[in-house]
Amino acid sequence: MTRILLIDDSRYARNTLKQALGDGYEYLEAADGLSGLEIYFLEKPELVILDLTMPGMNGLEMLAQLKAIQPSAKVIVCSADVQEYSQQEPCG
What is the C-alpha to C-alpha distance for residues 62 and 37, in angstroms, rounded to an integer?
7
Distance (Å) of CA 21 to CA 6, 14, 25, 42, 87: 11, 11, 8, 23, 25
Strands 75-77 and 26-30: unpaired
- Name the amino acid, one letter, at 62: M
pTM: 0.86
Q: Interior CA angle at 30 toward 82 and 69, to 5°?
A: 85
The pLDDT score that the predictor gives to residue 33 is 94
Is 58 a residue whose pLDDT tops 70?
yes
Q: Give the mean model confidence (pLDDT) for residues 63-77.
A: 95
Whether CATH 3.40.50.150 fits 3-88: no
